[in-house]
Structure 1
Amino acid sequence: MATSHHKVAISVGFSALGMLLALQASAAPSEPMGMTDPGATNQLIIKLKSQKGVAAVPPEVTRRLIANSGQDMAHKRAMSDDAHVFKLPKAASIADIIRIARQLKALDPDIELVEPDYLQQATLAPNDTYYSLQWHYFDPAGGVNLPAAWDKITGSAGIVVAVADTGYRPHADLAAKVLPGYDFVSDAWMGNDGDGRDADARDPGDWVAANDCYTGSPAANSSWHGTHVAGTIGAVTDNGSGVAGVNWQSRILPVRVLGKCGGYTSDIVDGMRWAAGLGVTGVPANPSPARVINLSLGGAHSCSTTEQSAIDAITAAGTAVVAAAGNSNTNVSGFSPASCNNVISVAAINQLGKRAYYSNYGSLVKIAAPGGDYTVDSMILSTLNSGTTVPGADSYAYYQGTSMATPHVSGAAALILATNAALSPSQLLATIQGTARPFPAGSTCTTALCGAGILDAGKAVNAPLAPDTTPDAFAFTALTNVALNTLVTSNAIKASGINAPAPISISACTSSLCEYNINNSTVWNAYGITATVNNGDTVVVRQKSSAKRNTTTTLTLSIGGVSASFKATTKRR
């Protein structure tokens, strides 16, 4: 991704603009990365059918992988979703890594998934002193109409927004909003803090010397990228000092996934899962699960299975994923995680409401928000640190990038959830898109390029919620080897993704008895009876098994047009 540098100073010593940073933290040796080019990696993500729920794979399994791949790889660690990270003896191009992965898959039937561990990069009316400089909050063409939102609600401390990024600095205009987070950067050199994963999510700096990341890579100062992003989402506001945040009340959960030279997909995915309250091997449970995860990061690859699996699990848990579209002035379809399904991908506009010159675009973009554009405006003002390498004093800075557009959407999403915490991620997206402001006449953005329009926080928090009685998908676990002619009860499912009562009934039954129950009621509703369920209600079904051996009976339950079947098969003998 292209990176530009512009230095802008005001009275508190604003430092340089950096459009994008590096995404995840990878596990490299405690020395510079040694990559030959920026499109390379030295790790594989492998999921083995026989090695689920284990912290380490047996040596004989690693030896088999070495023999089948011709690569002297080493098991590095277990990761979330029963996958494992393996390190290769040296970095190779993504094309070569994919060839290795295909060879492994073809030769080893125990492999369920194998893919590159991609390195990704980051994408750069209150009384606060510098609020008047934050045009991106109130400008009629390129702003997000925050004053109208704040007139109704300024947020809720119960809505947590995770910032998966470089970590944070304990800035005076931010620290009061920050929850204890976690550092997922698993390599000591990349982490630059003397250790691997731990409960300290502070940013020690991500400066690099020339050639540190790959041959020909430039030297760069520390970016403090995560601190800038967090400030836009939730800087302490209306305190007579510094800058304002989009959301005055929500807490910020720092999840450090980026370090020197960026980071690996495996670290980012683990950080995302943890942020949403999902389990990650070897990491303590997150006591403050986020309702929104901000990903101001990405890499030039299509959405991987590892990323999509994590995002699906996260959104199913009720957490929205907001990701930067990228800064390469190309179609977002080749940039991830913004191109994954179930992601609110964000393009950047400038103060004129036009697409910022660097912003990615395309049909997968969901919404546009101000990201700054030094050729047109003063860019996006937020919290930073003055240190060029190690941390220095608190400061503020103008940055530009889809990294800066994304936290506007994440902060506004938290404002919307403060008005209705029951909204699912899909309902949240529908609200954001349904209230978007049309692009101004003459804009280089259209709905085919930059999403539904420009984020309008004021309209979003004041919008009446259209009734939605179509729930998220649900499923019953089939039962086998059940006793003959007996009542069998399903696993419980929870109605989710609706904001109005939805009709529920049994739509098909091949048993002599089919019934459903809502919220452990004393009443069981029979086949032919229609009732209603609300969001969050728990439902179980039951049926009488067949009087014949090795026979399957089926009950199909429908909620708001979405159906699932519960099957029970009797014992063979």
Structure 2
Amino acid sequence: MNKRVLGKFATLVLIFSLFVSMFQPFAARAGSILLDEPIQLEKGQMIEGEFNQPGQVQWYKVAPSQGEIAKDTHMRIKLKGSFEGSVSVYTNSDRAQKDETFDAYRAYISSGEPAQIDMPLAWTGPYYIKVEFYGGYYDEMGIDPETGEPYEPFNATYQIGYEGVNLPPGAITGEACPVELSTKNKTSGAEILSQLRSVRNNLLSKTEQGKQLSSLYYKMTPFLVTKMVLDKNIRETVYKDLVQLKPLFKDVAANSDQSSYRFTPDDQKAINELYEIVLKNVPEHVKVEIEKKAKEIGLLKLADQKVADVLKKSNLAFSNSDPDRIIVKLKNGKTVSGIQQKAKSLGLSAASLKSNDPVLGNTVVLKANGNVQALANHFAKMPDVEYAEPVHKYQKQSVDIQYRHQWSLENTGQEFGKSGADINYSKLQQLVNSNSSNLKEVLIAVVDTGVDDTLADFEGKISSEGYDFVNRDKDPYDDEGHGTHVTGIIAAAADNNYSIAGINQKAKILPVKVLDASGSGDSDQIALGIKYAVDHGAKVINLSLGGAKSRVIEDMLKFAASKNVTVVAATGNDGSMDVSYPASSDKTIAVGATGRLDIVSDYSNYGEGLDIVAPGTEIPSLLPDGSVTFLSGTSMAAPHVSAVAGLLLAQNPRLTPDDIKTILTNTADNVAVEDTNNSNEYFDPEFPYPISPTKPGYDNASGWGRLNAWSAVSAVRLNLTVNNLTDNDKKVTGTATKGTQIEVRNGDTLLGKGTSAADGKFSVTIKPQMVNQVLHFVAKNGKSESTVKIIVKDSPIPETPFVNPVSNLDEVVTGEAAAGTTVRVNSKSTVLGAAETDANGHFKVQIKKQKEETPLLVTATSVSGKESIAANVIVLDKIPPAAPKVAAVSERDQALTGTTEANASVTVKNNGKTIGEAKADTKGKFKVAIKKQKAGTVLTLTAKDAAGNISKAVKVVVMDKTPPAAPKVNAVTDQQKAVTGKTEANATVTVKTNGKTIGEGKADAKGNFKIAIKKQKAGTALALTAKDAAGNISKAVKVVVMDKTPPAAPKVNAVTNQQKAVTGKTEANATVTVKTNGKTIGEGKADAKGNFKIAIKKQKAGTVLTVTAKDAGGNISKATKVTVKNSKK
């Protein structure tokens, strides 16, 4: 009997696309279905059913208990019977109603072979099961060809039930594929499949037309598979035609859109046959689409054409740039109108990337008609343009390899892994759970292929604010699986018995779809996605994608950084020494991948810009079909870091992206950088692998090391900060939560330990370490433990010390230098002294006194032996000259002379006023000109040497060298007992006679004096001198003692009237005067003996004569009266 005819291929390109997708598409059958009351299935029970009419459907429902979910990973659903039909499993009633499920959850029953589906327990349920009856074996007309009669009615019985099974995560399996069905167990089957998958990856996924063909393939696959399962003849026909086209597949797989293969007539015949098979076995609406594509391509007229020409005409050729578009960024303040007018003049359409947006509003996307690079260069030269670039393609960063379990969270060495080669998840969870109520929810954007939010592990964890920039709607559904896998690593619910445990239970995921069903996307979509994530409150953005550098994406990364949003990006899976973009941007945390042996994965891109590595090989996580599947790639490593970055922000929302990068890299564990199983893949004579470390603690293969989540989160919990450490430092200092135990280690060697004080500060004493040494700082407190790398920094050469002036009086050298350095004072090659600076950098070095002008060299030497440039110090002369020695000076002098220090300047002052100054000669002699000064004036003299040192002042009193004037002496009589007169004030007056002092006394303040003496004889010569206070003696003034004693009355001889003379005796030499009646009648001088004879005229007798004697002093004696006697003769 004949089997039903099954599906056919559409076009040459559809032939490529039929079997190239390795991810299971989310398939929907045509038409709607009404669910009857479903029959409840219970675990371990088989229920019987019966069909009697083709097209009948029976519904069942399964509601797994919590016990089943905790115990089993899957339901193994079995359908047994002898009929043609199918069984489909749906995750909820809505999808059952729409007949939406994954092809893996559809199975076909034929020829008595049971159907089996392993359905993951990844949804909350209930699950719905549909059993569909196609009928028995008969031809399309329902007539038995042997009898010519209609077939007898066919009744079918069956049994259905399920058991719980526990399956490990698996690798991705492709959907039931027509090509796989036709090539299974065939000689050329494996080769054809390999070639067609290459076509998928390297051709169809690169263009918009290719993506549309893939989508069309998803639509027709269920119908084709259903038919081909039942019809061996169709399978054989498809295989025959594929073998005919094998040379075509091989050339396209090798050369992609540059293939020079020319279609042959036999190729055309095979294509036509496949095309007819497709058209006969798909629904009408799908058939219309296929015929349209066939017409566009010219499917029936391919003979003798080159593949490259056909692909180009069909818009299936590709390059690394979008062939249709360029992005133009305008300078600040410039409007898009000018660019739009220019584009219009060139026949191009232009639109703002995001109108009215303050960041993207001046970025324009142009649809080009020619060489996009030439157009980009043209616009880049315009004065209003900041840059112009082609729209680039970006790809997800993952590969598919099968292994088991979530070793990245807790590696016990399972499956030949290395125990402890994980992110320390179990201790992380203990730490997080101990403070869960204080942690804030953090929004993490997964900018990827979208997220399937229906999975039980994502319940309540996916933001409803997501967006799809591929289809431009608000439903970022994951039609590829990559974004869901990434999301599961970050935030799958823990301890809910479903599937897996995500790393960050405080994360809320913002799904932003920028990659399509083939896992690729354009730079403008990705830029918009980043901007959208920032604008909608994401604090962390995960970019598990990569491609060429893009300035529009870089602008959005800068925008994210300006808003304190941390961006994590995958480095790429090419195994090359080039970190892919955007991971290569300094605005991201670039993440490479490791495997379960704690070795950097061989595919992980490395080199400058790599920050950290994380588990990325054989990482199990969820796919949209609910399966837990192993994927490998830096795409899987990046979400490990994103999850932990979110936990850091949950504890401290004030952390900046730079803070987060520093914490993650400083707490990372060292890993091996060479995969011993794949070392040959990395060998390059010019760039051997592993790369030599470029920075202490860093290598180009693993960056700063492998992520240690527990250590990173502990560092934030402990408020841990470690101050920079140099090769000079003897203490490691910083802050941590009170009571934190601190250890500092160099490898296994403990250098020091301590405990943080009540104020959080700690100081651990260690021996100074060599520059670039990597130390490990271990901090423990409660459930927190963090190991932080400390790189001993190269201290700078100490600055030249600041030295205070040093004099010939000093016995210490003081100043300031770098704290902790040793200061040495040298004189030529002799070390005079050394001392360490104190904590403030002050130093005091003991030395012996040095001579003035001695040159000293003062250096500071660090603990690490670095010596500063020497400070040159000249010993100053601070010893003043001795006080000048000054010769006596008098009021007569007009210069001061003396001796002092050679070449010193001598200054003379009077009452503080300088009255003279001069310089001593080389022997120290000086002569300072001054005006004459009064005696007694006090002059001060100082000497100043060349260094400016001034001697003590010497005081000089102006001496009195002018004798007083000769005293003015009053007359001295022989009656006096004092000599009086006037002389210089206060002078001492001395009275001498014949050189003998007979009296001495002091004049008063007015110069009056009175000197007591004994009475002197008249005529005695007295000599009087005056001596002033200075001892100057005046010239002597001679004073003759005046005779103030009148002579005795003369003795007069008798005078007669006959005599003409009066004689007698009186004082020697006295003048004798004879008077009568008061009239002098005669006068004469006594001789030396006193005899006198005074001539007179004869006087009458009886005349009374009065005779007086006047001595030389004018003293007149008393008168002697003589009466003239009468003489007869």
TM-score band, normalised by shorter chain: 0.5 to 0.7
Q: Percent identity?
A: 30
For the residue of structure 2 that corresponds to 1:426, the secondary structure is helix
Could you tell me which of 397, 410, 422 is aligned with 1:138? 410
Alignment of 1:47 onto 2:329 = yes
Could you tell me which of 389, 392, 407 is aligned with 1:118? 392
Match in the other structure for 1:270 = 528
Could you tell me which of 155, 168, 172 is aligned with 2:451? 168
Alpha-carbon distance, 1:38 to partner: 4.4
Could you tell me which of 302, 305, 309 is aligned with 2:551? 305
The alpha-carbon distance between structure 1 residues 103 and 6, as it changes in their structure 2 partners (threshold 3 A), is: closer
Alpha-carbon distance, 1:432 to partner: 0.3
The alpha-carbon distance between structure 1 residues 260 and 6, as it changes in their structure 2 partners (threshold 3 A), is: closer
The amino acid across from 2:701 in the alignment is L
Could you tell me which of 648, 652, 655 is aligned with 1:420? 652
For the residue of structure 2 that corresponds to 1:136, the secondary structure is coil
Deviates more, 1:236-245 or 1:252-261: 252-261
Could you report, residue by residue, the CA deviation over 1:150-176 in whole angstroms, capped at 9, with x for unpaired residues?
Answer: 111157452111100111112111132
Match in the other structure for 1:209 = none
Match in the other structure for 1:248 = 505
Size of the aligned set, in residue pairs, is: 397
Match in the other structure for 2:727 = none
CA contact (8 A) 2:207 2:317 kept: no
Alignment of 1:400 onto 2:679 = no
**1:324-473 pair list within 5 angstroms:** 324-333=570-579, 335-372=580-617, 379-386=618-625, 394-440=626-672, 447-463=699-715, 464-467=718-721
Match in the other structure for 1:232 = 489
CA contact (8 A) 2:353 2:360 kept: no
Separation of aligned partners in 1, 2:644 and 2:600:
20
Alpha-carbon distance, 1:462 to partner: 1.1
Separation of aligned partners in 2, 1:411 and 1:198:
27
The alpha-carbon distance between structure 1 residues 35 and 110, as it changes in their structure 2 partners (threshold 3 A), is: farther
**1:8-23 pair list within 5 angstroms:** 11=167, 14=170, 16=172
Alpha-carbon distance, 1:62 to partner: 3.0
For the residue of structure 2 that corresponds to 1:248, the secondary structure is coil
Unaligned runs of 5+ in 2: 1-19, 25-103, 105-117, 119-165, 175-196, 214-313, 412-418, 677-689, 692-698, 725-759, 761-1129
Match in the other structure for 1:37 = 318
CA contact (8 A) 1:160 1:252 kept: yes
Match in the other structure for 2:948 = none
CA contact (8 A) 1:157 1:249 kept: yes
Separation of aligned partners in 2, 1:415 and 1:407:
12
The alpha-carbon distance between structure 1 residues 450 and 395, as it changes in their structure 2 partners (threshold 3 A), is: same
**1:527-542 pair list within 5 angstroms:** none
The alpha-carbon distance between structure 1 residues 141 and 197, as it changes in their structure 2 partners (threshold 3 A), is: same
For the residue of structure 1 that corresponds to 2:647, the secondary structure is helix
Deviates more, 1:13-22 or 1:255-264: 13-22
Separation of aligned partners in 2, 1:159 and 1:50:
33
Deviates more, 1:10-19 or 1:420-429: 10-19
Of structures 1 and 2, the one with the larger relative CO (CA 8 A, separation 6+) is 1
The alpha-carbon distance between structure 1 residues 50 and 434, as it changes in their structure 2 partners (threshold 3 A), is: closer
Alpha-carbon distance, 1:330 to partner: 1.1
Separation of aligned partners in 1, 2:207 and 2:462:
27
The alpha-carbon distance between structure 1 residues 363 and 105, as it changes in their structure 2 partners (threshold 3 A), is: closer
Alpha-carbon distance, 1:11 to partner: 3.2
Separation of aligned partners in 2, 1:64 and 1:441:
52
The alpha-carbon distance between structure 1 residues 49 and 451, as it changes in their structure 2 partners (threshold 3 A), is: closer
CA contact (8 A) 1:26 1:264 kept: no
For the residue of structure 2 that corresponds to 1:176, the secondary structure is coil
CA contact (8 A) 2:23 2:481 kept: no
The amino acid across from 1:396 in the alignment is V
CA contact (8 A) 2:599 2:673 kept: no
The alpha-carbon distance between structure 1 residues 462 and 395, as it changes in their structure 2 partners (threshold 3 A), is: same
For the residue of structure 2 that corresponds to 1:150, the secondary structure is helix
The alpha-carbon distance between structure 1 residues 468 and 321, as it changes in their structure 2 partners (threshold 3 A), is: farther
Could you report, residue by residue, the CA deviation over 1:86-105 in whole angstroms, capped at 9, with x for unpaired residues?
Answer: 34345x7xxx5333211222
Alpha-carbon distance, 1:26 to partner: 11
Unaligned runs of 5+ in 1: 125-130, 186-190, 206-222, 278-285, 373-378, 387-393, 471-499, 501-573
Match in the other structure for 2:1086 = none
The alpha-carbon distance between structure 1 residues 85 and 12, as it changes in their structure 2 partners (threshold 3 A), is: farther
Alpha-carbon distance, 1:352 to partner: 0.9
CA contact (8 A) 2:350 2:367 kept: no
Match in the other structure for 2:374 = 99
Match in the other structure for 1:291 = 539
Separation of aligned partners in 1, 2:22 and 2:384:
48
The amino acid across from 2:431 in the alignment is K
Alignment of 1:200 onto 2:478 = no
Separation of aligned partners in 2, 1:88 and 1:172:
43
Could you report, residue by residue, the CA deviation over 1:8-34 in whole angstroms, capped at 9, with x for unpaired residues?
Answer: 997388551799999xx9996895693
CA contact (8 A) 2:590 2:611 kept: yes
TM-score, normalised to structure 2's length?
A: 0.33
CA contact (8 A) 2:327 2:366 kept: no
Alpha-carbon distance, 1:371 to partner: 0.8
Could you report, residue by residue, the CA deviation over 1:528-548 in whole angstroms, capped at 9, with x for unpaired residues?
Answer: xxxxxxxxxxxxxxxxxxxxx
Larger radius of gyration: 2
Separation of aligned partners in 2, 1:469 and 1:12:
47
The amino acid across from 1:265 in the alignment is S
Structure richer in strand, relative to its length: 2
Alpha-carbon distance, 1:305 to partner: 2.3
Alpha-carbon distance, 1:232 to partner: 0.3
Match in the other structure for 1:64 = 342
Alpha-carbon distance, 1:117 to partner: 1.6
The alpha-carbon distance between structure 1 residues 442 and 101, as it changes in their structure 2 partners (threshold 3 A), is: closer
Could you report, residue by residue, the CA deviation over 1:96-153 in whole angstroms, capped at 9, with x for unpaired residues?
Answer: 53332112222x32222211221111112xxxxxx98100112245321111211111
Alpha-carbon distance, 1:325 to partner: 0.2
The amino acid across from 2:342 in the alignment is R
Alignment of 1:75 onto 2:344 = no
Could you tell me which of 432, 439, 448 is aligned with 1:153? 432
The alpha-carbon distance between structure 1 residues 455 and 12, as it changes in their structure 2 partners (threshold 3 A), is: closer
Alpha-carbon distance, 1:356 to partner: 1.3
Separation of aligned partners in 1, 2:353 and 2:526:
14
Aligned-residue Cα RMSD (Å) equals: 3.7
Separation of aligned partners in 2, 1:239 and 1:357:
35
The amino acid across from 2:423 in the alignment is V
For the residue of structure 2 that corresponds to 1:177, the secondary structure is coil
Match in the other structure for 2:272 = none
Alpha-carbon distance, 1:368 to partner: 0.2
Separation of aligned partners in 1, 2:207 and 2:332:
24
CA contact (8 A) 1:332 1:338 kept: no
Deviates more, 1:461-470 or 1:141-150: 461-470
Separation of aligned partners in 1, 2:339 and 2:526:
26
For the residue of structure 2 that corresponds to 1:323, the secondary structure is strand
Could you report, residue by residue, the CA deviation over 1:336-370 in whole angstroms, capped at 9, with x for unpaired residues?
Answer: 10111121000011111112121111121100011
The amino acid across from 1:16 in the alignment is I
CA contact (8 A) 1:165 1:226 kept: yes
The amino acid across from 1:162 in the alignment is A
TM-score, normalised to structure 1's length?
A: 0.62
Could you report, residue by residue, the CA deviation over 1:294-330 in whole angstroms, capped at 9, with x for unpaired residues?
Answer: 000111x2x3322222112211211100000011111
Alpha-carbon distance, 1:5 to partner: 6.7
Separation of aligned partners in 2, 1:241 and 1:338:
33
Could you report, residue by residue, the CA deviation over 1:443-497 in whole angstroms, capped at 9, with x for unpaired residues?
Answer: 6777222210000001111124454999xxxxxxxxxxxxxxxxxxxxxxxxxxx
Match in the other structure for 1:316 = 562
